[in-house]
Amino acid sequence: MTDLLKFITFEGGEGAGKSTQARLLADWLRGAGHEVVLTREPGGSPGAERIRTLILTADPQPEQRFDGLTEALLHAAARRDHCLKVVMPALDRGAFVISDRFSDSTIAYQGFGLGVPLETLTRLHDLAVPRCIRPSTTFLLELSPEDGLARARHRTSTSGPAIDRYEAEELEFHQRIGVGFNAIAEAEPNRVQRIDAGRCVDEAEESIRSIIRFRYQP
Ligand code: T5A
């Protein structure tokens, strides 16, 4: 039976530490004997990973870029495939699913960042996502856009691929994303747990563990 309580997401701006904390939480839960599927968006299934490439390498020339609604449609298509192929089957067999980003990112980035009406995004979510599933717990990693972009660019310059389509946006765009995540957290304070991501990795990890202990007693 589908256990939506075990659907956990990580959200926040660029470089806030979502991937780091998602991985640490997955390792901890596995160590306690649970099956955990650690996944991400955009992506997470082979088809959705192909769409991810399309989105994140979109033409950097402003006049050639997808508009906000086209991006939202691509994210929704990727999310549908990810949910059908990975998220739902895992929840159906009782596993924890930890996703590095999910639909809150569409509200923050395509809604607050690019100006797509929130009502349109809600309708798109209801259309694309099987059974309209939503996470039961979302960790919002909060860090200033300046610090987050610095972390992301440091990581990119030392190990990773070129700066992606969103990292290349101006600071004001990332500030609007922060406003968007804040609005989501204020609207759903029980689901969305704010984590101060400016602290060291271990301290943020311990905050997350204490919330998981309280909610799930793993
Ligand atoms: N997007 C996504 C949309 O526009 N709409 C959508 O619907 C969805 C789902 C995805 C992009 O797509 C957009 C949002 C994104 O721009 P991505 O590459 O997956 O692209 O981007 P991010 O999710 O932002 O991933 P990042 O890797 O940039 O950020 P993370 O995961 O938050 O950070 P992380 O853990 O990789 O850490 C970054 C660096 O900081 C260090 C790490 O070691 C690493 O070097 N670090 C810390 N340093 C100091 N203190 C700490 N506490 C630290 N925690 C991590």
Could you give the dihedral angle defined by the CA atoms of residues 180, 211, 96 and 183, in that order, rounded to the nearest 10 degrees? -10
Kindly report whether the global pTM for this prediction surpasses the value 0.75. Answer: yes
CA–centroid distance, 1 to ligand 1, in Å, is 32
CATH class, domain 7-216, is: alpha beta
**Closest to 218 (Cα-Cα) out of 8, 1, 21:** 8
Does 197 score more than 90 pLDDT?
Answer: yes
Contact 177, 109 (CB under 8 A): yes
3-state DSSP call for residue 98? strand
Does 1 score more than 60 pLDDT?
Answer: no
3-state DSSP call for residue 138? strand
Q: Give the model confidence (pLDDT) of 61-90 as tens digits.
A: 778 889 999 999 999 999 999 999 999 999
The contacts of residue 195 (CB under 8 Å, 6+ apart) are 21, 139, 140, 141, 142, 204, 207, 208
**Closest to 179 (Cα-Cα) out of 138, 145, 135, 136:** 145
Whether ligand 1 lies within 6 angstroms of the CB of 75 is answered as: yes
CA–centroid distance, 16 to ligand 1, in Å, is 6
Which atom in ligand 1 lies closest to the alpha carbon of residue 199? 52
Domain map (residue ranges) of the chain: 7-216
Does 168 score more than 70 pLDDT?
Answer: yes
For tokens 């470089």, the residue is 15
Whether ligand 1 lies within 6 angstroms of the CB of 152 is answered as: yes
Does 4 score more than 90 pLDDT?
Answer: no
CA–centroid distance, 126 to ligand 1, in Å, is 26
Question: Mean of the pLDDT values across residues 159-180?
Answer: 85
| Pocket residue to mutate for ligand 1, from 14, 79, 82, most atoms within 8 A of Cβ | 14
CA–centroid distance, 73 to ligand 1, in Å, is 22
Whether ligand 1 lies within 6 angstroms of the CB of 101 is answered as: yes
CA–centroid distance, 151 to ligand 1, in Å, is 9
Whether ligand 1 lies within 6 angstroms of the CB of 165 is answered as: no
